[in-house]
Each structure stands twice: as C-alpha cells, then as structure tokens.
Amino acid sequence: MDTLSHLIEIKDIYKSFGDLSVLRGVSLNVSAGEILGIIGASGSGKSTLIRCINGLEATQRGEILIKGQRLNSSREAVNVRKKIGMVFQNFNLFPHYTVLQNITGPCRVVRKLSKKSAEELGESLLEKVRLKDKMAQYPGNLSGGEKQRVAIARVLAMEPEIILFDEPTSALDPELAYEVFDIIKLLAEDGMAMMIVTHQIGFIKNLAHLILFIDNGKIACSGNPDYILNECNHPHLQDFLMRLRENI
Amino acid sequence: MELNFDTVIRNLPLFWQATLITVKITVLAFVFALIIAFTVGVLRSYKIPGLFKVLLAVYVEIFRGTPLLIQLFFIYYGLPSVGIIMDAFSAAVIGLALNGGAYMSESVRASILSVSKGQEEAAYSLGYNKLEAIWHIILPQAIRVAIPPLMNGFSSMLKETSLVSVISITELTRTGNLIYSRTARPFEIYLTLGLFYFVLTFSIVLLAKQIERKERRWIL
Ligand SMILES: Nc1ncnc2c1ncn2[C@@H]1O[C@H](COP(=O)(O)OP(=O)(O)O)[C@@H](O)[C@H]1O
Ligand SMILES: [Mg+2]
C-alpha cells in the first residue's frame, strides 16, 4: 500500500511524562474506512496514544502524519485536528450549551456555517443518533448513553475522516453501552475510519479489522480479532483476556 | 437623648447629590475593574512569556498587599511628583479600579481553573483554536462561577468609596462629615449615612441574585 492512501501514519513514537515512559516506540497505520480496536491493561498507554494522534499530547520522538501532513507545531495541529474526531470517556459535552447548540456551536465557530445550515445539520445528526426530541435540553439533564450519543453527533458534524474513541462506554451502565455501540455500528456501515479503545471485547471483535494489544507502551501483539483472541500467545495478552472474561 | 432628624431632612438634597457621586465612582471603577480582572485573570491562567507573567503577578500582589488608602494617597498626592497629575475624581476611580481589579482577577483566575481540563480538550479536538476555546467554551462557564465573588467585589467597592473622601471628593461619607461639622448631630447623620450605604449594597445583592438565577438554567 502506498503512503498516500494512509489516513494516519505513526512512525516509532515515544512519549514520557517526566521519568515515566508511557509510549516506547509505537508504529501503526490506519487507512480510510479501517477500524482499529485497541486493547490493553489500564495504564498501558492507550489514552496517551490516542491523545498524541490528535495533538492533545506532544510526542518526544518519532513522527505522526495525518494524510501525509506532519503534526508538529500547534498551528498545524489546529488544522489537522479538523480531520480527526475525538470521543472521550467522560463525554466532555459543553454544559452551557443545549444539545443542539453543542453541535451548532462548533459548526459555526470551526466550520463557519450559517446559523440556518448549522441547525439543519444539527437536527439531522440528532435524528441519526435518535435524540432529536432532546435537542432543547441541557446535557446535565441527559443519561450517560444520551450524552455520548450527542458527543458522537457533535463529532460527526465536523465531517471528520477518522474518529478516535477513548473508552466511549466505560462510564456507562452496560445497558446504556449498547445505545452507543449501535451508533458506532452505524458509522462502521457508513465506512468511517475509527480507532476504538475499549474493554468490550465482545463488541470490538465483530467490528474491528485489526486489534492492537498495547502492553507497557508498546504494541505487543496485533492482528485480526480471531488471531488476537485465539492464536496470539503473548503471555500478557492471555492474562489480560482471562481477567476480562472473569470480570464479565 | 432626643432624636431630631430635622437636620437630616433639611440636608437631604446634599445626601442625594453625594449618593449620585458615590454611585458614579463605584460603577465606573467596577466596570474598569472588571476589564482589568478579566484581562489579567485570563492571561495569568495561560502560558504567557515569563517577564509578562511576573509583571502581572507583581501588580496583583502589590495592590492586594497594601492598603487602599495608601494607594489613593499615592495616586493623588504622590504621582504629581513624577508629572502624573489628575483630578480627584479620576484618581479615585483609577485607584479603586486598580485595587478591585487585582482582587477580582484572582476570582476570575480561580473560576477559569474550575472549568475542567476536558472542556478545553474537547474544544481543541473539534478544531477550536486557543482564543476560540477561551471565548466560547471556557469563559462562559467560568463566568458563572465568578459571578458571586465578582458581585461581592462590587459591593465591597461601594463601601470602599467611603475612603475616597480623604482626597476631598464630596461623596456620601465626606458629605456626612461636612454636615456633622456644621450641625453636631452625629447620631442621626451617621445613621442616615449607614442607611444610604445599606440600601445601595442591598440593591447590588438583589441584582446579583437576579443574575445568578438567570445563569442557573444549565447544570453540570
Ligand atoms: N498528563 C500526565 N501526566 C503524568 N502521567 C500521566 C499523564 N497522563 C497519563 N499518565 C500516566 O501514563 C500512564 C499511561 O496512561 P494512559 O495512557 O491514560 O493509560 P490507559 O489509557 O491505557 O489506561 C499511566 O501510568 C498514567 O498515570
Ligand atoms: Mg485510558
């Protein structure tokens, strides 16, 4: 595959916080329409990896290319970020905006859409995540599942080429998690490229083209879901999967 | 002792005039203090060049660490020695604004810190630049937190205008003193003076309640 067809190219990145080295030589590529699952124990560096990709953290070594563009200075980061959507574990909706304004606000500020077209887009996206009846509410009045669906609609409004999910359902009760999974499945059907950090193996194994197991700041094992779940015999992966199964 | 409010009633027009001056100084100083507080508070909450940061910190600490009375004397009587001359009214407004701005900038800074880091990150990840994130996302949430302490600052400032009587501004306190020196009715005069101040500060309390109610439409 030639480099131009990669949406994201990560070449041997390192990241540490003070003495704590969190990413220790991570390389990966993501192409259009590709879905990557990322699994790994808590503290292994999954969030840090995701946050480096959209420039919320700066790397110390290595290179990150978004559609061939380097993510270096903060000025470039602002532009590059517009192509990357991010869904957070704790939603980070804007509490002072209504549900609709959470979508129209960024559309007007970042995409410079008119009020009217921002609202049309907002309403159609809320329809897509089945929350149009809540559009006048403030996020503080929504359930966790509803909040995350609004957050996804908000990201979609920016027309990203890839969406990064950092444990999108970890803050949700299991029965609410399915509302969010259903929306993510819809996105997969639309061909959206995604990187999804999750502990929900059952969900990701049916969706991801590739699963990466992060261990100690490195990709310890990667392959299709079947390989990761049944064949890869990295001892830490086996332990990790066993612990997940016990918890479920 | 026999109370006699005749003196007060005869001098009511003077009290009214003085009230107007007190209100004028307070409102002007508060508006300037707000501008200073938001500018300094926002700048001190973000990464800015070191020298600039030190200068702002020095400003805040000096004005919080010295008496307002001395600041007023310095501005009105001291600055003319270095060629900066202004009328008493301007000196009063500037003194109160610089003093209030220093205190209130700390409230603004605390309110900005109270907005979760995730809000800023969400804004950046959607493509907001720094200024857009501050203006549209951080400040509107911070302001709600800042309103009670800022309105508190407003009412403190009103009471502190009492001090500007020493640079010969005929606001409420000085007017009271002048009437007292002519009539020797301190009890009635200072009681009335207190009542005037109380009505004014209480109006600010009511205004603050009104604003807070409006801001309560969203919850976290
Ligand atoms: N801003 C930070 N400052 C210091 N340490 C951090 C910071 N962010 C993450 N870490 C540390 O880096 C390690 C990896 O964190 P993280 O990427 O969040 O792991 P994961 O998402 O896989 O649970 C953890 O030990 C965490 O405490
Ligand atoms: Mg994490």
At B42-81, the pLDDT tens digits run 999 998 899 999 999 999 999 999 999 999 999 999 999 9
The residue contributing the CA closest to ligand 1 atom 16 is: A45
Q: Reply yes or no on whether the pLDDT at B16 is more than 90.
A: yes
Chain A residues with beta carbon closer than 8 angstroms to that of B219:
95, 138, 140-141
Closest residue of chain A to B144, computed from CA coordinates: A96
At B171-193, the pLDDT tens digits run 999 999 999 999 888 999 999 99
- Half-sphere exposure at residue A190, Cβ-oriented, CA atoms within 13 angstroms: 16
Residue A6 counted as domain residue:
no
Residues 12-41 of B with CB under 8 A from A: none
Count of domains for chain A: 1
Residue A246 counted as domain residue:
no
Residue A176 counted as domain residue:
no
CB contact under 8 A, A140 and B140: no
Chain B residues with beta carbon closer than 8 angstroms to that of A118:
none
Band (A247; pLDDT cuts 50, 70, 90): confident
Determine the residue type at B51: L
Residue A204 counted as domain residue:
no
Apex A7 CA angle, A160 and A62, nearest 5 = 115
Where in the sequence is the domain holding A104, given as residue range(s)?
91-159
DSSP code string of A5-62: GEEEEEEEEEEEETTEEEEEEEEEEEETT-EEEEEE-TTSSHHHHHHHHTTSS--SEE
Residue A150 counted as domain residue:
yes
The residue contributing the CA closest to ligand 1 atom 2 is: A17
Measure Cα distances from B72 to B51, B66, B205 in Å.
Answer: 27, 11, 26
Residue A97 counted as domain residue:
yes
Band (A182; pLDDT cuts 50, 70, 90): very high
At A63-91, the pLDDT tens digits run 999 888 887 666 666 777 788 999 999 99
Residue A45 counted as domain residue:
no
Q: What are phi and psi of B117, to 5 degrees?
A: -55, -35
Chain A residues with beta carbon closer than 8 angstroms to that of B218:
95-96, 138-140
Ligand nearest to C-alpha A166: 2
CA A153 to CA A183: how far, in whole Å?
9
Closest CA to A80 of B120, B123, B126, B131: B126
Residue A107 counted as domain residue:
yes
Ligand nearest to C-alpha A38: 1
Mean pLDDT of A165-170: 96
For chain B, the average pLDDT equals 94
At A88-147, the pLDDT tens digits run 999 999 999 999 999 999 999 999 999 999 999 999 999 999 999 999 999 999 999 999
Mean pLDDT of A237-247: 88
pLDDT recorded at residue A74: 64
The minimum-distance atom of ligand 1 relative to the CA of A197 is: 21
